[in-house]
Structure 1
Amino acid sequence: MDQGMELRGCVCRIKSSALEILSMEEDLVTDLDDDLWDLIRRDLQLKATFLYIDLSCVITHNECEERREEITLLANNFFYFMDELGDAVASQSVSVVKVCYGNAACSLRELVAAVAPMAAA
């Protein structure tokens, strides 16, 4: 497979996963029963795993050292906030989840904005 095509596919999946995570806000900021909290936590972990794989590919195939460093920094920041969000969901504290989700969502938007131009390259 052509490297450019693979990179565009990764960026497309990153955008798709980001949209899925960003659409979870309503589910995360309401009081849920124990089973739903666990389901949402697992769903977040799965989406973060897919993002990790595609971001690793994007970073590895980026020829510009400065862009690689920028995307790596943004990705690390995002995954830090996702870990905090996972912990908050596990604690089932709606107020903490709201704050952690806001941080993760903001970080994810920055990350997608940095990665998006690579789809056109």
Structure 2
Amino acid sequence: MDQGVELRGCVCRIKSSALELLSMEEDLATDLGDDLWDLIRRDLQLKATFLYIDLSRVIARNECEERKEKITLLANDFFYFMDELGDAVANRSVSVVKVCYGNAARALREVVAAIAPPAAT
């Protein structure tokens, strides 16, 4: 498979997953029943796994060392916050979930901005 096509596919999936995660804010802002907490926790884990795979590919195939390092640092921050969010969801604390979600969402926006192709000069 052409590496350019694979890379574009990874970026497209990252953006799609980001939109899905960023649209979960309202769901996480209310107290949920036991079944919904578990469903959301599993959904977050699944999305984080796909993001991890695609971000790993984007980082590995990036030729610019400076961009590679920047994306790696931002991705590490994002996954740290996703772990915190997963713990908060597992503990079912709405107030903590809101804070953790805000941190994860901010970090995810930074990652998506960093993987955008550099502007042509």
TM-score band (shorter)?
over 0.9
Whole-angstrom distance in 2 between the partners of 1:6 and 1:116: 15
**Other-structure match for 1:34:** 34
Kindly provide the amino acid, as one letter, of the partner of residue 93 in structure 2: S
Q: Which has the higher contact order (CA 8 A, sep 6+)?
A: 1
Distance 1:82 1:24 in 2: 13
Paired residue for 1:91? 91
Q: Normalising by structure 1, what TM-score?
A: 0.96
Determine helix, strand or coil for the equivalent of 1:117.
coil
1:79 shift after superposition? 0.1
The AA in structure 1 aligned to 2:27 is D
How many Å separate the matches in 2 of 1:98 and 1:80?
15
Q: State the superposition RMSD in angstroms.
A: 1.1
What does residue 52 of structure 2 align with?
52
In 2, Cα distance between the equivalents of 1:85 and 1:116? 25
Partner of residue 104, structure 2:
104
Quote the Cα distance in structure 2 between the aligned partners of 1:88 and 1:116.
Answer: 30
Aligned residue number for residue 3 of structure 1 = 3
What is the CA distance between 1:81 and its match in structure 2? 0.2
- What is the identity, as a one-letter code, of the residue corresponding to 2:14? I
Runs of 4+ in 1 over 6 A off after TM superposition: none
Residue 114 of structure 1 aligns with an amino acid whose one-letter code is A
> What does residue range 71-82 of structure 1 map to in structure 2 within 5 Å?
71-82=71-82
Task: Give the unaligned 5+ runs of structure 1.
Answer: none
Distance 1:115 1:90 in 2: 30
**Counterpart position of 2:66:** 66
Unaligned residue ranges in structure 2 (runs of 5+): none
State the 1:116 CA deviation: 1.9
> What's the CA shift string for 1:55-87, capped at 9, x where partnerless?
000000001111110000000000000000000
Q: Which amino acid aligns with 1:70?
A: K
TM-score normalised per structure 2: 0.96
Q: Equivalent residue for 2:17? A: 17
| Displacement of 1:117 | 1.7
